[in-house]
A and B are shown apart, each in its own frame.
Chain A
Amino acid sequence: AQSVAQPEDQVNVAEGNPLTVKCTYSVSGNPYLFWYVQYPNRGLQFLLKYITGDNLVKGSYGFEAEFNKSQTSFHLKKPSALVSDSALYFCAVRDGGGATNKLIFGTGTLLAVQP
């Protein structure tokens, strides 16, 4: 069965420093991987996705993610964090089983950027 793990409940980083939010996955075939962000009392917003091709994917708000097949990872990164990046981040992988395009979500990582 497909699964995704976010090993950190919370990541703290100072404004201006680089940030990384970790994600590892498990799928039987080729993965389709996604990152979403959630601000308080809002729905999840799409940030970026990996389908195929270049292992470095660029997304919204200056975020990028690196697909590493050998380590089955898809870590989210940003070179310089902003206080406004503070939010809950979800990694997701597409579940190849079932009748629909079902995404499997991680448990989320709270990113706190200190001024």
Chain B
Amino acid sequence: ETGVTQTPRHLVMGMTNKKSLKCEQHLGHNAMYWYKQSAKKPLELMFVYSLEERVENNSVPSRFSPECPNSSHLFLHLHTLQPEDSALYLCASSQDFPAHYGYTFGSGTRLTVV
């Protein structure tokens, strides 16, 4: 256990479903991130939150909707997904400063869209 908990670990959903991924950290970090990891592709940074404000949104389709209600929790709401959205979704947290602070990752949610 790294201190960053992601639930569920596995999720199978139909293209018309609505589901949410949850990430929780109790490390006292003030920044949280969503990454998408697809087979044979680089890690894709999706969203960045710092002090609960969204500071980056890397051209992610609107069918992915993030929410950060407080510094310990991060959600990714999913609706009308496509099969190509099947991937491992990783959450990470960090401190903005000092600058050399690394990330702590959760174990990920393996999403399959059918």
The interface of chain A, by Cβ under 8 A from chain B, is 32, 34, 36, 41-46, 49, 51, 90, 92, 94, 96, 98-103, 105-108
Q: Please give, as numbers and ranges, the residues of chain B lying within 8 Å of A34 by CB-CB distance.
A: 102
Interchain nearest-CB distance for B71 vs A (Å): 13
- Cβ B110 vs Cβ A101 within 8 A: no
- Cβ B88 vs Cβ A46 within 8 A: no
- Cβ A101 vs Cβ B95 within 8 A: yes
Number of A-B contacts (CB under 8 A): 68
Contact of A43 among B42, B48, B90, B99 (CB under 8 A): B90
Interchain nearest-CB distance for B73 vs A (Å): 17
Of all chain A residues, the one with the shortest Cβ separation from B96 is A101
Interchain nearest-CB distance for B43 vs A (Å): 5
- Cβ A103 vs Cβ B2 within 8 A: no
The yes or no answer to B107 lying at the interface (CB within 8 A) is: yes
Contact of B88 among A32, A41, A94, A103 (CB under 8 A): A41
The yes or no answer to B108 lying at the interface (CB within 8 A) is: yes
Q: How far is the CA of A45 from the CA of B105 in the complex (A)?
A: 7
Contact of B96 among A36, A100, A103 (CB under 8 A): A100
Of all chain A residues, the one with the shortest Cβ separation from B101 is A101
Q: Pick from A44, A92, A94, A99 the residue with the most CB of B within 10 Å.
A: A44
What are 9 A-B interface contacts by the 8 Å CB criterion? Answer: A36-B105, A43-B90, A43-B106, A44-B92, A46-B103, A99-B50, A101-B95, A103-B94, A108-B43
Interchain nearest-CB distance for B9 vs A (Å): 8
Contact of A41 among B31, B48, B99, B110 (CB under 8 A): B110
